[in-house]
Amino acid sequence: MLNALRNKKLISIYKPEEFPIIDNEKISIELDVVASARHQASKELPNSNAKSPDSNEIKYRSKFQTQLIQKSHSVQQSLNCLSDEINNLSIQHYFSNATSSPCEFEQTVRSEMTISLRELKDLKKQFDLANEDLAQFKSMNKLNREPDYPVSSIKTFGLLFFFMLIEAIANGFFFAEGSDSGLLGGIAIASAIAFVNVTFGFLMGLLVLRYKNHVIKWKSYFSLIFFSVVMFLVCIGNLFIAHYREALNSYPDNAPEYVWKLIESGWFSVSDINSWLLFFVGIFFFILATYKGYKSDDEYPKYGRFAKLKEKALDDLMEEKRAILDYVDEKYEEAIETIEANFHIIKNSTKGLANSISSFEMQKKIFDNYVTHSESALTYVTKLYRDINSETRTTPPPEYFENDFNFKLNFEPLHFNYKDKRDELIQLKDKLENQLPSLREKLNSSKNMFHNEVDRASH
């Protein structure tokens, strides 16, 4: 919209109309002057006692007269339109737009910031509460270090999925021998085992093992004891899976019943090397998932959660602050452009008016020259007609051939009826130009005032 305002023209650019150069020889041929003069002379016309021009001379005058009037009307119509534009010209509106821009900027931004600052202060309170909670948590748990946790959980969960996939494929080979469906069947069984191992390991690392670092000793001891029990159960579970694999290979139809007979021989009575590999793969990925769960957040339980709440509150606060400041800066730039665009219009209008008046003077000179050339051409054609007629006829030519004849053409003089507003426009332009530094300074002061208000509300 500001670009449209900047390119707006209040006065059309007027280019003086040029007229073709009149070639006397060419026009005399077009009018067939020589033949007409000889034809009239053969009839001894005009009569020797004639007192006024004959029809041919009247025709010549009429042609030049008509052309001149047509050109005059065409130019005058353009000048009338230009006169109307100048007489209707008013730049006071653009002057007011420019000078009122700082006030409008302040009012617009103030109206918007009333709500925005309230929201910013609410976010500041939420951040302060989150910060107090974190400080209190650190004090109660005797923490004097900054929290350490991954910025994003995407990598963690991606690795967990990768662990499940690798364990499922590895275990699938071990179960493939006893499965009716071969490798795919083995992978299906192994996928369930991998899911339990990896998921359970991750939860143990995230929810249990980190409590070994707790400041309260009984929680720390309980965490280690509980994890040891879970680790023992995981080992038992994976030994059961190893026995089940042997039972599946030996007695595929009665594997659920036979597995207990194998276990009665002893939990560590697994004889097949692949079954032991199955056991160690399960334990390995359980430990690996436990480590990832342990490292997925700060090592001290709940420390990462409080830190993340504070970080999120700070991010929300800073995002709202940036949004408000961007809005202020955007409106500031629009106000600056409004001042410059309106000044550009006033300056162009002043220049355009001066150019239009100068163009009229130039048009008048061009038209006057065209009139002179037309009258000169009429004189040439008329005298050529009379000379040929006089030379060709046998009777004396009329006396008016020798007497002075009025070769002036009648036409409506060009008028440029306008109210000369050049002084008014120049005064307004100079006035606004002198005010530009103070207007920019006022806008800059208002912008800085709003920036300071935002800074105070967010600190």
pLDDT at 181: 47
The residue length of the chain stands at 459
Tell me the domain boundaries of the chain.
150-296
pTM greater than 0.75 (yes/no) = no
Q: At what angle do helices 33-42 and 55-87 cross, to 10 degrees?
A: 140
pLDDT for the residue numbered 85: 79
pLDDT tens-place string over residues 73-87: 888 888 888 788 778
125-165 per-position pLDDT tens digit: 999 999 999 899 889 998 888 887 765 556 656 666 666 66
CA distance 202 to 223: 15
Nearest to 414 by CA among 376, 455, 453, 362: 362
pLDDT confidence of residue 182: 46
Evaluate the omega torsion of the peptide bond into residue 46 and state whether it is cis, within 30 degrees of 0.
yes
Tokens of 348: 């162009």
Q: Enumerate residues 6+ apart whose C-beta is below 8 A from 418.
A: 82, 83, 86, 87, 357
Q: Quote the tokens at residue 113.
A: 């910031």
Encoded tokens for 254 = 């009665």
Collect the ranges in the chain with pLDDT lower than 50: 1, 4, 178, 180-183
159-184 pLDDT per residue, tens: 666 666 665 665 555 555 545 444 45
**Residue 158, both tokens:** 């991606």
In which residue are the tokens 């002075």 written?
404
Task: Report the C-alpha gap between 103 and 338 in whole angstroms.
Answer: 12
- pLDDT value at residue 277: 72
Structure tokens at 122: 């609410």
> What is the residue-averaged pLDDT of the chain?
83
